[in-house]
Structure 1
């Protein structure tokens, strides 16, 4: 996977039905981004340098020669790292059987560049990590139900809270405890993930902004860059 320029994330579709898309990074250290989650499982392959993520109040570092699986729906914040150079490949694969927390395994520094990594390698790593993880607990299923409700309901937070038998304040506290962010922030992140899906499908950026519920294209662009490390335009061109 070629790098158009250093110090930027570059996304492209994957030529494999088992992988939704790929993203690569090469630059001094790695980029800090806002907390977010994905609808897919994210496989992080670190070839040099390191990646670090803030999850549930703790920092998890993924060193060179290691891979990590970030489960779909898990709120995480990529942290900046001071390495001289970091080379990383992210692969987004459909959510299937999934551990409930981030997991890291050694890949024994098998590759020197992302161009040496084929989809079959990524899927083998994903299967390896997932086979070591425990299945989702009932609490994870409850978190999923809560997230789906917030995403699919267009009603005000007060009405959703009432359906859960809680006050708005009590519901907000529950969402923060279970999902890590406020109900409004969760909805924004869900709309950003929808925007990624629409952009991958080739929909024009202005239309994506409207369809994903943003006030205008500039609003989408500002939040997209802060969250995913690239602009909708660059992402759309792939």
Structure 2
């Protein structure tokens, strides 16, 4: 299996081509354009189960064969082949292990403004005849096509944003932040768990992992990333990074 490689071609800037070699692991690549932050590919028997996490970017999951499954808001969401899932920035989701059928998947991480503010699953099967024809433009079309289906309601979005900002932009203890919302520590923790899907300290940890991911993309050495993102050492970052994103900082940084 590891010796069998399928290459997807992505036309990033005509006539430059970037190759994605997909094996039984997540492989991350930077996209040399402003409207896609990065791309990740998977090919293997089934897919990995990972810890619940969120991204600062909106995530577009293109399933080309097999299937992907996620645990979101207490429900299992399955994305079959020929479909895409649009996971908004900040939405907690837990990738679930899938059966041992061969799965080929592409993740695209795009600026939050390029995708809807609510979870979407749409059919993409007719958009191309083969995987070799997929281009970033197709990915962005999928994001744009969903915008017209967005509800005009934004109930809850502001509150969730305020909670996330309060937890990540301040080093204050949770109790002090809770007081700023007029809540006890326990009441604030319940509100955060209800609105963000994870306890305050867990949210802060995930935000630090996302910061580490950004610093790695910017080319900062791993040891410095661990320190700057608030981890005790490089091994601490590596352990949590692998459990959350399905690869190590070393492999991610090298790509």
TM-score range, shorter chain: over 0.9
Partner-residue secondary structure (3-state), 1:138: coil
- Look up the match of 2:75: 58
Report the alpha carbon displacement of residue 68 of structure 1 after superposing the two structures with TM: 1.1
Alignment partners' CA distance in 1, 2:24 and 2:148: 33
- The partner residue of 1:211 within 215, 228, 250 is 228
Contact kept, 8 Å, 1:50 with 1:64, in 2: the verdict is yes
1:102 counterpart residue number = 119
The answer to whether 1:123 aligns with 2:146 is: no
Query: In the TM superposition, what are the counterparts of 1:8-87 in structure 2 within 5 Å?
Result: 8-87=25-104
Match of 2:151 in 1: 134
How far is 1:97 from its partner? 6.2
Q: 1:202 aligned to 2:219? A: yes
Distance of 2:179 and 2:93 partners within structure 1 = 29
Cα deviation, 1:82-105, whole Å, max 9, x if unaligned, reads 042000000000011653431011
Match of 1:149 among 133, 157, 166: 166
- 2:163 and 2:170 map into 1 onto residues whose CA distance is 11
SS across alignment from 1:207? helix
TM-score by length of 1: 0.95
Matched-pair contact (CA < 8 Å) for 1:48–1:87 = yes
Runs of 4+ in 1 over 3 A off after TM superposition: 1-5, 97-100
Deviation (angstroms), 1:116: 2.8
Could you list the runs of 5+ residues in structure 2 that have no partner in the other structure?
1-7, 9-18
* Match 1:112 to one of 125, 130, 134: 130
Count residues with an aligned counterpart. Answer: 237
TM-score normalised according to structure 2 size: 0.89
The answer to whether the 8 A contact 1:98-1:136 is kept is no
Equivalent-residue separation in structure 1 for 2:147 and 2:205 (angstroms): 28
Distance 1:200 1:135 in 2: 34
Does structure 1 residue 187 correspond to structure 2 residue 207? no
Q: Distance in 1 between matches of 2:61 and 2:152?
A: 20
CA contact (8 A) 1:97 1:135 kept: no
Superposition RMSD in Å: 1.5
Deviation digits for residues 147-184 of structure 1 (CA, Å, limit 9, x no counterpart): 01100110111111111111111110010000000000
For the Cα contact (< 8 Å) 2:53–2:93, is it kept in 1?
yes
Equivalent pair of 1:35/1:77 in contact (CA under 8 Å): yes
Greater strand share, 1 or 2?
Answer: 2
Gaps of 5+ in 1: none
